Amino acid sequence: MGRIADLVGARSPAEGQTERKAVVALVGAPNVGKSTVFNLLTGLSQHVGNWPGKTVEVKTGVHHQGDVELEIVDLPGTYSLTANSPEEQVARDYIIQRRPDVVAVVLNAANLERTLYLVAEALELPSPVVVALNMVDVAEREGMRVEPEVLQAALGVPVVPMVASRGEGVRELVDTIARLALGAYPYIPKRPEPGPELGALVGRVEDLLGEETPPPHPRRWLALKLLEGDRDAIELARANIPGDRWEQLNSLLRENEDAVVSIAGARYQWIERMVRAAVVAPRQGAISLTDRLDRAATHSLVGPAILLGLLGVLFWLVYRVGGPAMDLLDGAMGAGGDLLRESLAGAPPWVAGLLVDGVLGGVGTVLVLLPILMIFFLGMAFLEDVGYMARAAFVADRFMHLMGLHGKSFLPLFLGFGCNVPAVLGTRVIQSHRARLLTILLAPLVPCSARIVVLVFVAGALFGDAAPLVTWGLVALSLTLLAISGVLLDRTLFRGERPAFIMELPLYHLPNWRTIALEVWQHTRAFVARAGTIILVVSVLVWALADQPAGSIEESYLAQVGRLLEPLGGLMGLDWRMMVAVLTSFVAKENALATMAVLSAGGEESSLAAALPQMLTPAAALAFLVLQVTFIPCVATIGVIQQETRSWRWTGLALLYLLVLSLAMRIATYQAARFLALGG
Amino acid sequence: MWTVSQQIEDYLEAIRKLEERAGYATTSALAREHRVAAPSVTEMLRRLSEQGLVTYEQRKGVRLTPEGRRRAASVVRRHRLWERFLHDVLGFKWDKVYDEACALEHATSPEVERRLAEALGNIDTCPHGHAIPGPDGETDLPFLVPLSELKAGQTARVVRVTEEPAELLRRIGALGIRPGVNVRPGNDARGEGTVSLWVGEQQRQVEREIAAHIMVVPLSPEEVEEDSISLLGDLAPGEVGVVRDFHGGHTFVARCLALGFTLGVEAKMVQNVGHGPVIVLVRDTRVALGRGEAEKIVVTRK
């Protein structure tokens, strides 16, 4: 159990006492402070898992209070419980199939009307519902007062007022959940009733479903979902009820295609009654802080300037704080490596090589990335928490739209200029699975700072005065490839209905540092655990290939592979040494320079600049650079692609796509450059 | 050169215009129109009458005969085609085209007239909203009333405005009034000489004298409702629309509904720069929508 849970008065159960356990599912629309509530309850005891067959994260954690142990499941934030997105599917499948003892719906008191929609849906499901009325402080600041007792009476379910950002109301929430789970609370919910016409229609669908309603689905719920056009519900009904009755049902559903609109309308009418009863002082028309801030943040000219400015600050932080920290860690790793090598003086050289160059090198790659990553995580979590992220997406949507991307894809892609790893990890802000996958596939095409270093170095050594132009041209090339790839993927692999760009712009609020800190911690931990493992394994593998069997890179397996690939290299004007440099740059793009230095210049990068013109013709150099820009991303990026897509298939596809793209591009470049008589 | 036939055409044109307004053209009105003395007008009318182009009635004034009406319509047609050409093709302001067209109309052969009409896509109104008579001289005139005579609260569509003088046209233009715009007089006029007028979402005080030069057709409540149908993406900032329908796939509709865009709900446009996404206030929440999405939600303007 974590420190944060201690703060709110959670206690370990007394010795010898039997615990009363209950499973609680936490649901809520986005921007209601659900993760703050979850973090308060579970602290650092969280475990992140995946719902089977879905790339949707489900966090679980444990909360102790008195002799009660609550297992809390944080379901994805959704506006409704229809199978419109994987998130909604996971949330409602969990509630139906796992039957949590209690479903706690978190509401935003400042936005009661819209967040109550989920309550209207949750009341149709079998588990008892508790309403956590969060952000009552924000509502009061906005001039609204909500009376929890009145809302409780109107809904017929317990309502607990909370200010989760200050830890208020948590104890009461846990008490209420425990009482409800133990059946110590009379639970008589007042469900939203559809009007007479709609009610009759729901009744007819229920009759047609009959006894064939597959358990554990409630019949009335299934009838409503069928009328709402829910694809999963339709599949379920088709598979379970006899053919002729299904035909009847299907034609009834077809006749009433618009029922979804009336059902939602009826729910909102019910909500309006609740709001009229429970809200004492309705919001005044005054211009709020959010209005004033948005005048600048979403302005068609000022908005992009603010976005770029904020990103500038983020990059400045990365270089001013992350850079030195990275150097420090790099130095420490170097010193540690020397120390380890000394202490292993007696062992066979391959042991020292494996431990120092392979293992420590791999750990170093992971560790050295951490300061930068944590700053990026912090920046993203901060912007998301204060409510700015939705504005950034709004501003960027105009450009991203062309590639079939969501406005939210802009930020992660932009982060890619620093490093592709946070770019891939940053795609978490994108809710739509399709847009997220597409963004992940495109992220490696953003030239990261390491690639730009290689670019600047090689271009400087070979192209003299034209170097800036060449560098610029190559960066422009990779961005053009990104745009083209986006358009192509959108039209082919990702064809189908684009995710609709409809997004709530939440009220701005002060950052909640606990939530941000936990977010940074979780992301960092996930990166080390998953991507870190892959990076370590690949790093050891590449070391082994570069070291064995003879202990020198010139005669290694890697060199043999490089020689094997020479015919392919020939198409691009690259000899085996350059091919090896390409292969080692897989671990980290900077490695390309080090390898070339080892193979050609006795290990000194300064003499490499002099040696390069002898190794490469300008045409070949251009091809080499094109390949550096477009070739398979570094192992860290691949690690996080696998981590985020949770699919080797997609990871492999990303690799294959980049491989084909770069192969085509570099051969085309070399042949074109030769044709243009740059010298072959 | 001021030829007799040009003079005749100008008179026919003026009589037609006055007749449209009042049913008759009086000698004094024609004198004002042509800025000449009443006796020379009387002399001209006598000649027109001799040629069988007008009939003269004591005390009332003159009316066009069928032949006079045909000749007048032909002049007006040429005049308004030229106005369209000057405005649409050459980019003249609407307060500059009248005088230029007055000179051009007389020098237009039937061949030029036909080609001009074709080049303009056989358009049927001049830039000020007046109907361009067809080649056979016929025009369908809806029931028009001057804006100054409209009752408070009655929504009407502007059909046409006066063609001159230029100064008056500039002032009408500055009010945002154009043919096709809907207007509605309020009941809080500042004084006797002014009319309080809603033009779209803007409330204006308009001088009665100006309002008399704006011809409108009153709309029935059904027509107002029909007319206010629009797409959410077409609302200007500050405008409120009531959601009426969706044009979109099932997933899209479901997402709209969950976010609170139910039928009958009011959505207020907060930001719309004409391209890119928009921001809408619905159920106390600001919601950003892509342009494509905003154009799939049907609303009626409030």
Taking only residues 219 to 238 of chain A, the set having a beta carbon closer than 8 angstroms to any beta carbon of chain B reads 228-229
The alpha carbon of residue B290 is apart from the nearest alpha carbon of chain A, in Å, by 5
Average pLDDT over chain B reads 82
B129 phi and psi, to 5 degrees?
100, 5
pLDDT given for residue B241 in this prediction: 92
Q: What is the pTM of this model?
A: 0.68
Between the two ends of chain B, the Cα-to-Cα distance in Å is 55
pLDDT given for residue A609 in this prediction: 66
β-pair partners for A106: A28, A132
Q: Residue A679 has which token pair? A: 């010298």
User: Residue A541, class by beta-carbon neighbours within 10 Å (0-12 exposed, 13-18 middle, 19+ buried)?
Assistant: middle
Residue B282's closest chain A neighbor by CA?
A: A114
Write down the ipTM of this complex. 0.78
The alpha carbon of residue A259 is apart from the nearest alpha carbon of chain B, in Å, by 11
| Under 8 Å between Cβ of A449 and A417 | yes
pLDDT given for residue B178 in this prediction: 81
The alpha carbon of residue B275 is apart from the nearest alpha carbon of chain A, in Å, by 8
Inter-chain contacts counted by CB atoms under 8 A, chains A and B: 109
Report chain A's C-alpha Rg in angstroms: 29
Nearest CB partner across the interface for B249, out of A294, A407, A497? A497
A110-133 pLDDT tens trace: 888 889 999 999 999 889 999 999
| Under 8 Å between Cβ of B154 and B185 | yes
Report chain B's C-alpha Rg in angstroms: 24
Residues 6+ apart with CB under 8 A from A171: A8, A9, A65
A90-103 pLDDT tens trace: 898 899 988 999 99
What pLDDT band is residue A583 in, cutting at 50, 70 and 90? confident
pLDDT given for residue A679 in this prediction: 47
Residues of B in contact with A394 (CB under 8 A): 277, 279, 288
Nearest CB partner across the interface for A398, out of B248, B277, B283? B277
Residue A79's closest chain B neighbor by CA?
A: B258
Suggest the residue from B240, B243, B256, B257 to mutate for an interface test with chain A (most A CBs closer than 10 A). Answer: B257
Residue A391's closest chain B neighbor by CA?
A: B288
Query: CB-based contact (8 Å) between A296 and chain B?
Result: no
Residues of B in contact with A283 (CB under 8 A): 284
Q: Do A268 and B259 touch (CB under 8 A)?
A: no
Query: CB-based contact (8 Å) between A497 and chain B?
Result: yes
CATH number (3.90.230.10, 3.20.10.10, 1.10.10.10, 3.40.50.300) of A3-181 reads 3.40.50.300
| Under 8 Å between Cβ of A122 and A105 | yes
Query: CB-based contact (8 Å) between A19 and chain B?
Result: no
Q: Do A268 and B249 touch (CB under 8 A)?
A: no
Nearest CB partner across the interface for A501, out of B251, B253, B277? B277
pLDDT given for residue A11 in this prediction: 38
B20-41 pLDDT tens trace: 766 678 787 888 777 677 777 8
Ranges of residues in chain B with a pLDDT under 70 are 1-4, 21-23, 35, 58-60, 137-143, 189-191, 201, 225-227
Asked whether residue A12 carries a pLDDT value surpassing 50, the answer given is no
Q: Do A260 and B265 touch (CB under 8 A)?
A: no
Nearest to A584 by CA among A619, A534, A547, A612: A547
The alpha carbon of residue B284 is apart from the nearest alpha carbon of chain A, in Å, by 7
Residues of B in contact with A431 (CB under 8 A): none
Asked whether residue A72 carries a pLDDT value surpassing 90, the answer given is yes
A158-174 pLDDT tens trace: 999 999 888 899 999 99
What pLDDT band is residue A82 in, cutting at 50, 70 and 90? confident
A13 phi and psi, to 5 degrees?
-65, 150
Residues of A in contact with B271 (CB under 8 A): 294, 298
For tokens 């182009």, name the residue. Answer: B53
Suggest the residue from B283, B291, B296 to mutate for an interface test with chain A (most A CBs closer than 10 A). Answer: B283
- Which amino acid is residue A225, in one-letter code? K
Which positions in chain B have a beta carbon within 8 angstroms of at least one beta carbon in chain A? 246, 248-260, 262-265, 270-271, 273, 275-277, 279, 283-290, 292-293
Query: CB-based contact (8 Å) between A293 and chain B?
Result: no
A278-313 pLDDT tens trace: 888 666 554 577 888 888 898 888 988 998 888 788
Give me the DSSP letters along A35-51. Answer: HHHHHHHHTT--EEEE-
Q: Do A394 and B288 touch (CB under 8 A)?
A: yes
Q: Do A79 and B258 touch (CB under 8 A)?
A: yes
pLDDT given for residue A284 in this prediction: 57
Residues 6+ apart with CB under 8 A from A237: A209, A222, A226, A246, A249
Residues of A in contact with B258 (CB under 8 A): 79-80, 82, 84, 117, 264
A380-421 pLDDT tens trace: 889 888 888 889 888 888 777 777 777 778 878 877 776 787
Nearest to B24 by CA among B73, B76, B60: B60
Residue A121's closest chain B neighbor by CA?
A: B258
Asked whether residue A16 carries a pLDDT value surpassing 50, the answer given is no
Residue B249's closest chain A neighbor by CA?
A: A497
Nearest CB partner across the interface for B253, out of A260, A298, A407? A260
Q: Do B286 and A264 touch (CB under 8 A)?
A: no
What pLDDT band is residue A632 in, cutting at 50, 70 and 90? low
The alpha carbon of residue B158 is apart from the nearest alpha carbon of chain A, in Å, by 33
The alpha carbon of residue A544 is apart from the nearest alpha carbon of chain B, in Å, by 51
The alpha carbon of residue B252 is apart from the nearest alpha carbon of chain A, in Å, by 6
The alpha carbon of residue A403 is apart from the nearest alpha carbon of chain B, in Å, by 14
Residues of B in contact with A80 (CB under 8 A): 254, 257-258
Beta strands in B237-293 (DSSP E): 240-246, 266-271, 278-282, 285-289
Residues of A in contact with B275 (CB under 8 A): 398
* Residues above pLDDT 90, as percent of chain B: 12
Q: Report the alpha-carbon distance of residue B202 to residue B181 in Å, rounded.
A: 12
A193-216 pLDDT tens trace: 888 888 999 999 999 888 877 878
The alpha carbon of residue B177 is apart from the nearest alpha carbon of chain A, in Å, by 28
The alpha carbon of residue B224 is apart from the nearest alpha carbon of chain A, in Å, by 25
Highest mean pLDDT among A64-68, A125-129, A606-610: A125-129
The alpha carbon of residue A472 is apart from the nearest alpha carbon of chain B, in Å, by 29
Nearest to A132 by CA among A155, A439, A361: A155
What pLDDT band is residue A564 in, cutting at 50, 70 and 90? confident
The alpha carbon of residue B180 is apart from the nearest alpha carbon of chain A, in Å, by 30
What pLDDT band is residue A52 in, cutting at 50, 70 and 90? low
Please tell me whether residue A154 adopts helix, strand or coil conformation.
Answer: helix
Asked whether residue A630 carries a pLDDT value surpassing 70, the answer given is no
| Under 8 Å between Cβ of A54 and A5 | no
Q: Do B251 and A84 touch (CB under 8 A)?
A: yes
Residues of A in contact with B246 (CB under 8 A): 261
Q: Report the alpha-carbon distance of residue A51 to residue A39 in Å, rounded.
A: 20
Query: CB-based contact (8 Å) between A283 and chain B?
Result: yes
Residues of A in contact with B263 (CB under 8 A): 261, 265
pLDDT given for residue A596 in this prediction: 65
Residues of B in contact with A407 (CB under 8 A): 277
Q: Report the alpha-carbon distance of residue B196 to residue A589 in Å, rounded.
A: 71
Q: Report how far apart, in Å, the C-alpha atoms of A661 and of each of A515, A674, B3 are.
A: 41, 20, 78
Suggest the residue from B246, B252, B253 to mutate for an interface test with chain A (most A CBs closer than 10 A). Answer: B253
Between the two ends of chain A, the Cα-to-Cα distance in Å is 66
User: A196-280 adopts what CATH topology?
Assistant: Helix Hairpins (1.10.287)
Q: Do B276 and A300 touch (CB under 8 A)?
A: yes
Average pLDDT over chain A reads 80
Please tell me whether residue B211 adopts helix, strand or coil conformation.
Answer: helix
Count other C-beta atoms under 10 Å from residue A6's C-beta.
Answer: 12
Tell me the HSE value of A408 on the side-chain side, using a 13 A CA sphere.
31
Query: CB-based contact (8 Å) between A508 and chain B?
Result: no
**Domain extents in chain A:** 3-181, 196-280, 304-679
